[in-house]
């Protein structure tokens, strides 16, 4: 089986620390993409595509014979969260940090590039460094890119690290693996007035208070149920922070979440009906943000990953239910690709994703790279059918 060396692991660790110091958020990944192109060129990629769906990068490694195309995907973007750390490689960009582990994901996939110095017997491997995953726009933007038909794979694999699970454990699930979600921004406009005569204005305050009770109550079921739904109030703003003005406008933000895209459609319908009928005196508008479809794992691709984990002697966690958090990797499955999202344990005491003190564990770099290389070997080796 293909594996990366201890020297290559040292290189990947140094690369991760460099990327960690200079995080770029969704839609701004210019320097990160430039560095990735440089490293892929050094690794000997046969072809490199740049500016895919924004600042995305893809690299091709061709086998000697024709065969399937296997895509391995990671993410370029960091988060608009200030890092709280004493690490020597902590973020040097104020208010931004690699606090979801995408720096580690990139370096694992770069480890795959190093392992592919020995090309597969047949077919080809595409390594995709995708932009804008955190906002839910990146995967679809890559698919919508005019060059996608040149890249489009037969199989696609990705993974996310998971704090609170044992280090190096592989989480797998047939069917739904990540929930659908979307952000609902509700803007309510009435008429402001002097605080001494509020009756001469139209305040959205009462309507907002009512929505704050109604919308969270729309959730139903548990994560193991196909009708699982969750409506989470995330932000409320009413007027300006003064004492002399009865407010005339306000905003609520709600995140809708579901196991299936069908259930998401019903949640959207229910919330829209409630909001649009809340108070006829108010002008109400709804905007949608951060739209994620359900990630649905292909059974065959998941079984290939399962066999690869066994071949590597990795512990497998057969997941009873999907992750509540979302991932835009599901877009590739909707495009007809046999796609599977996997989960790699980041350690039981590891700070949670998006915590200000989170840091990707370097111990996962060789493990993750070797796991992906084994998946590739399962599909593209001379013994594969």
Q: Each residue of 233-247: pLDDT tens digit?
A: 999 999 999 999 999
| 341/321 Cα distance (integer angstroms) | 13
CATH classification for the domain delimited by 6-178+294-380, as one of 3.40.630.10, 3.40.50.1100, 3.40.50.920, 3.30.379.10: 3.40.630.10
User: Which stretch of DSSP H or E encloses residue 367?
Assistant: helix 364-380
Contacts of 283 (CB under 8 A, 6+ apart): 188, 189, 190
Q: What is the average pLDDT across 192-217?
A: 97
Task: Tell me what pLDDT residue 222 has.
Answer: 86
The stretches of 43-187 forming alpha helices (DSSP H) are: 102-115, 138-144, 148-151
Question: What stretches of 197-274 adopt beta strand conformation (E)?
Answer: 229-238, 245-246, 249-258
Section 337-344 average pLDDT: 98
Q: Which H helix or E strand runs over 317?
A: strand 316-318
Q: Is the confidence at residue 319, as pLDDT, over 80?
A: yes
- 153 phi, psi to nearest 5 deg: -95, 170
- Which residues neighbour 335 within 8 Å (Cβ) at sequence distance 6 or greater? 143, 152
Average of per-residue pLDDT values in the chain:
96
Out of 156-165, 297-306, 375-384, pick the least confident: 375-384
Would you put residue 95 in left (φ > 0), alpha (ψ -120 to 50) or beta?
A: left
Check if the beta carbon of residue 155 is closer than 8 Å to that of residue 301: yes
341 near 297, Cβ under 8 Å? yes
Question: How confident is the model over 251-276, as pLDDT tens digits?
Answer: 999 999 999 999 999 999 999 999 99
Q: What pLDDT is recorded for position 228?
A: 94
CA gap 305, 65 in Å, rounded = 23
> Residues 379, 142, 372, CA angle at the centre, nearest 5°?
30
- pLDDT (average), residues 109-138: 96
CB 112 within 8 A of CB 75: no
Tokens 């994620």 label which residue? Answer: 292
| pLDDT for residue 248 | 98
Q: State pLDDT tens for residues 25-77.
A: 999 999 999 999 999 999 999 999 999 999 999 999 999 899 999 999 999 99
Tokens representing 196 are 């001494």
Domain locations in the chain as residue ranges = 6-178+294-380, 180-292
Architecture of domain 180-292: 2-Layer Sandwich (3.30)
Tokens of 165: 């699970």
Q: What is the pTM of this model?
A: 0.94
Provide the pLDDT for residue 351: 97
């Amino acid at each position: 089986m293909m594996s990366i060396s201890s020297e290559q692991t040292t290189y990947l660790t140094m690369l991760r620390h460099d990327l960690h110091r200079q995080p770029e958020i969704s839609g701004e990944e210019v320097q990160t993409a430039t560095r990735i192109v440089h490293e892929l060129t050094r690794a000997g990629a046969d072809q490199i595509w740049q500016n895919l769906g924004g600042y995305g990068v893809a690299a091709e490694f061709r086998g000697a014979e024709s065969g399937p195309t296997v895509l391995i995907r990671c993410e370029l973007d960091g988060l608009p969260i200030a890092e709280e750390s004493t690490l020597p490689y902590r973020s040097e960009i104020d208010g931004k940090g690699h606090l979801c582990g995408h720096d580690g994901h990139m370096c694992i996939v770069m480890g795959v590039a190093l392992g592919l110095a020995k090309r597969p017997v047949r077919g080809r491997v595409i390594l995709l460094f995708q932009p804008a995953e955190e906002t839910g726009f990146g995967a679809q933007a890559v698919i919508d890119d005019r060059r996608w038909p040149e890249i489009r794979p037969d199989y696609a694999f990705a993974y996310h690290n998971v704090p609170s699970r044992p280090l190096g454990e592989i989480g797998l699930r047939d069917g739904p693996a990540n929930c659908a979600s979307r952000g609902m921004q509700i803007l309510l406009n009435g008429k402001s007035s002097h605080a001494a005569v509020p009756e001469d204005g139209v305040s959205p305050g009462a309507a907002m208070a009512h929505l704050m009770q109604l919308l969270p109550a729309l959730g139903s079921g548990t994560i193991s149920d196909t009708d699982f739904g969750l409506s989470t109030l995330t932000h409320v703003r009413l007027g300006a922070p003064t004492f002399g003005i009865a407010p005339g406008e306000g905003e609520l933000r709600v995140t809708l979440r579901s196991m299936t895209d069908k259930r998401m459609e019903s949640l959207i319908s229910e919330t829209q009906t409630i909001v649009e009928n809340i108070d006829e005196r108010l002008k109400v508008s709804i905007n949608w943000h951060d739209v994620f479809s359900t990630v649905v794992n292909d059974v065959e691709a998941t079984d290939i990953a399962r066999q690869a984990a066994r071949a590597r002697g990795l512990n497998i966690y057969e997941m009873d239910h999907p992750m509540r958090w979302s991932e835009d990797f599901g877009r590739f499955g909707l495009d007809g690709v046999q796609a599977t999202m996997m989960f790699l344990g980041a350690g039981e005491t590891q700070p949670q994703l998006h915590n200000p003190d989170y840091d990707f564990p370097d111990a996962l770099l060789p493990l993750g790279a070797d796991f992906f290389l084994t998946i590739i070997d399962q599909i593209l080796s001379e013994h594969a059918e």
